Amino acid sequence: LILISGQVANSLIGTDAFQEIDAVGISRPCVKHNYLVTCIEEFPRILKEAFYIARSGRPGPVHIDVPKDVSATLGLWEYPKEISMKTYKPVYKGNSKQIKKFAELLKEAKRPLFYLG
């Protein structure tokens, strides 16, 4: 899930302007990552990173907050082909000794029980 929200203009952020909300702060406990776009040129990179983060490791939501002056700006769209990010990468390879031990115990069990979830 990628959430894109609107924000007051960059120059008004932090001034308690009308309809200003700390969307990044409010959503921080609920998302994997937050972005505040400060210029239109960084939006394609942020969007690519957001989709990468949302799908990598344990999937989860990413929030992008776009100020009004940025959303009203025209610019060239240059979507990056690749990004380089350090993210959580789960280990899928098990410990071979533990797997063999489990297999032996399972083979010897008279009434094995699997509790999965």
Cβ neighbours of 57 (radius 10 Å): 12
Please state, as a whole number, how many other Cβ atoms lie within 10 Å of the Cβ of residue 84.
5
* CATH code of the region 2-87: 3.40.50.970
> Which of the pair, 117 or 49, is modelled with greater confidence?
49
pLDDT digits (tens, 9 = 90+) for 10-22: 889 888 899 899 9
76-86 per-position pLDDT tens digit = 888 888 888 87
Amino acid at 19: Q
Residue 68: which of 12, 7, 19, 116 has the closest Cα? 7
